[in-house]
């Protein structure tokens, strides 16, 4: 399949499989989402969700978090890994939010990316999921599947993001990036599929695998 044809099929099929796209990270508002996304770096969403209840009981606002010692935050978030760096970033960004943004999470990429511990991917998640601004955050699942599905040959997430934005309608980006993550975790894992096993791989890679283009495997059943 051509990338444009593959993209159209993937967009349609993932919408059928995942009509709802709940945000995997438990949060209450833009600030707690921002904190959760910072914690998710090199950590699973499941582990983050296990840690944040205690953290948000201690400090669920920028004003409260800015007053908590870094060592106390590091103690709570240690299971997420990189605790010294992440705790310093959380206190630092909380203080900047209080000092420069009246305690509110800013609504621009530039202002978000100026906060400690916030890169483009984190800013993209917040812009998309907290404020509804079209964005296409690319994590390891999306980067891997974009290459596996022939949607991008980018060697880094920056190029992959640019390629995906050209292929998919802007109004689909926010839901689609979550749908790709869900599918990658459930059906097209790094070890469980080699580009020939899952339904989408069999369909878009049909010519390379010896399957007629468009042939599908048996219907997918959602994982629990």
Kindly list the domain boundaries of the chain, sorted by start residue.
3-21+137-209, 30-131
**106-143 burial code (b ≥16 CB/10 A, e <16):** beebebbeebbbbebbbbbbbbbbbeeeebbbbbebbb
Q: CA-to-CA distance for 74 and 76, rounded, in angstroms?
A: 5
In this predicted structure, the answer to whether residue 183 has a pLDDT above a threshold of 70 is yes
Average pLDDT over residues 143-160: 95
Average pLDDT over residues 126-130: 98
pLDDT of residue 206: 81
216 in catalytic set: no
Phi, psi of 120 (to 5 degrees): -65, -40
In this predicted structure, the answer to whether residue 67 has a pLDDT above a threshold of 60 is yes
Catalytic residue (choose from 121, 163, 166, 194): 121
121 in catalytic set: yes
- The pLDDT-based confidence of 133 (bands split at 50, 70, 90) is very high
In this predicted structure, the answer to whether residue 28 has a pLDDT above a threshold of 80 is yes
Which sign does the torsion angle of CA 182, 184, 185, 186 carry?
Answer: positive
In this predicted structure, the answer to whether residue 203 has a pLDDT above a threshold of 50 is yes
pLDDT of residue 140: 85
pLDDT of residue 57: 97
Is pTM beyond 0.75? Reply is yes
Give the rounded percent of residues in the chain with a pLDDT score beyond 90.
89
Structure letter (DSSP) for residue 80: G
Query: Distance between alpha carbon 7 and the CA centroid of its chain, in Å?
Result: 19
Return the minimum-mean-pLDDT range out of 48-52, 81-85, 206-210: 206-210
Q: Which one is predicted more confidently, 40 or 215?
A: 40
Compute the mean pLDDT over every residue in the chain, rounded to the nearest whole number: 92
- The pLDDT-based confidence of 222 (bands split at 50, 70, 90) is very low
Q: CA-to-CA distance for 24 and 34, rounded, in angstroms?
A: 13
Catalytic residue (choose from 11, 46, 86, 139): 139
* Of 13, 6, 2, the residue nearest 176 (C-alpha): 13
Question: Residue 109 — left, alpha, or beta (φ > 0 → left; ψ -120 to 50 → alpha)?
Answer: alpha
Average pLDDT over residues 89-95: 98
Q: CA-to-CA distance for 21 and 182, rounded, in angstroms?
A: 9
Q: Would you state the structure tokens that stand for residue 218, as one six-digit string?
A: 């048996």
Q: Any idea which fold 30-131 has? A: Endonuclease III; domain 1 (1.10.340)
In this predicted structure, the answer to whether residue 22 has a pLDDT above a threshold of 50 is yes
CATH code for the part of the protein at 3-21+137-209 = 1.10.1670.10
């Amino acid at each position: 399949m051509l990338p444009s044809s593959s993209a159209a099929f993937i967009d349609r099929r993932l919408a059928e499989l995942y009509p709802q796209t709940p945000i995997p990270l438990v949060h209450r508002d833009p600030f707690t989402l921002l904190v959760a996304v910072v914690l998710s770096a090199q950590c699973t969403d499941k582990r983050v969700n296990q840690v944040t209840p205690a953290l948000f009981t201690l400090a669920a606002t920028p004003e409260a978090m800015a007053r908590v010692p870094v060592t106390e935050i590091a103690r709570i978030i240690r299971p997420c890994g990189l605790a010294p760096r992440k705790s310093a970033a959380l206190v630092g960004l909380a203080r900047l939010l209080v000092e420069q943004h009246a305690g509110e999470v800013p609504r621009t990429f530039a202002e978000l990316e100026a906060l400690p511990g916030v890169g483009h991917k984190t800013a993209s998640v917040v812009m998309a999921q907290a404020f509804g601004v079209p964005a296409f955050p690319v994590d390891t699942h999306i980067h891997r599947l974009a290459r596996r599905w022939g949607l991008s040959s980018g060697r880094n997430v920056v190029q992959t993001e640019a390629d995906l934005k050209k292929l998919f309608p802007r109004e689909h980006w926010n839901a689609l990036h979550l749908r790709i993550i869900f599918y990658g975790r459930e059906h097209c894992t790094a070890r469980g599929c080699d580009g020939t096993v899952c339904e989408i791989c069999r369909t878009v890679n049909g010519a390379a695998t010896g399957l007629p283009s468009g042939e599908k495997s048996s219907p997918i059943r959602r994982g629990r």
